[in-house]
Chains A and B, each alone.
Chain A
Amino acid sequence: DIVMTQTPLSSPVTLGQPASISCRSSQSLVHHNGNTYLSWLHQRPGQPPRLLIYKISNRFSGVPDRFSGSGAGTDFTLRISRVEADDVGIYYCMQTAQLPHTFGQGTKLEIK
């Protein structure tokens, strides 16, 4: 199985400041079709996760442009340009390049 490793596991951030989360996969997520199947999810307390970003850098419908994704191969980053109060919760990376699909351990974003 592909192991997804996120850093940091906890990120205290000041409102209005940027935040960054890294995700590394144990194998390349590049498919022979050229696409890279790495997504980012956000889970608020007591809620199911919701999709933010897919295929490294594509924002899902309704996701603010404060959120951006980057990376290639096995190393990926989620950035929030200016953190808002609503952004608290846990962020997960997820790979859908190979079965079983797997998730990172999660990064808890909290406001300082």
Chain B
Amino acid sequence: QVQLVQYGAEVKKPGSSVKVSCKASRGTFSNYIFIWVRQAPGQGLEWMGRIVPSIGSINYAQKFQGRVTIDADESTSTAYMKLSGLRADDAAIYYCARSGLEFGDPIDYWGQGMVVTVSS
């Protein structure tokens, strides 16, 4: 069973940063692309960016450029997403997800998500 393990929840102050981790079990880490998607309370899904660990390629959604950093540590099979300059409207569940390396491959597995609350 593929697992993308994300831990719990964080409460952050406006203007601070949050770093979300996603540990992959099962399968070779470098055989996949890792994607970050967020979902604000009661809202839809929003694609933030992705990393292809095997080639070090990273893409970000324009909306988050300059505030988001995605990276990965192949030695621990863990992907990370850091969002800076937190605002109240960044409160959301942050999901990591996985797709294959072929062009257009769909997201086939999702982590459970990490709840981020932004409050002073």
Q: Which of B45, B50, B105 has the most CB of A within 10 A?
A: B45
Asked if A49 meets B110 with Cβ closer than 8 Å, knowing A92-B44, A100-B59, A103-B45, the reply is yes
Contact of A51 with B108 in the complex, beta carbons under 8 Å: yes
A104–B113 CA distance with the chains assembled, in angstroms: 20
A99–B50 CA distance with the chains assembled, in angstroms: 10
In residues 52-104 of chain B, which contact A (Cβ within 8 Å)?
59, 61-62, 95, 97, 99, 103-104
Contact of B104 with A37 in the complex, beta carbons under 8 Å: yes
Chain B: interface secondary structure?
strand
In residues 26-69 of chain A, which contact B (Cβ within 8 Å)?
31, 33, 35, 37, 39, 41, 48-51, 54-55, 60
A38–B7 CA distance with the chains assembled, in angstroms: 30
B46 at interface by CB-CB < 8 Å: yes
Contact of B44 with A105 in the complex, beta carbons under 8 Å: yes
Chain A: interface secondary structure?
loop
- Name the B residues within 8 Å of A51 (CB-CB): 106-109
- Name the A residues within 8 Å of B47 (CB-CB): 100-103
Q: Which of B45, B59, B106, B109 has the most CB of A within 10 A?
A: B106
For the complex of A and B, 5 pairs with smallest distance between CB atoms: A37-B104, A48-B110, A54-B106, A39-B106, A100-B61
| Interface CB pairs A-B, < 8 A, 22 | A1-B62, A31-B103, A48-B95, A48-B113, A49-B45, A49-B95, A49-B107, A49-B110, A51-B107, A51-B109, A54-B106, A60-B108, A92-B44, A94-B106, A94-B107, A96-B104, A96-B107, A100-B61, A100-B62, A103-B45, A104-B44, A106-B45
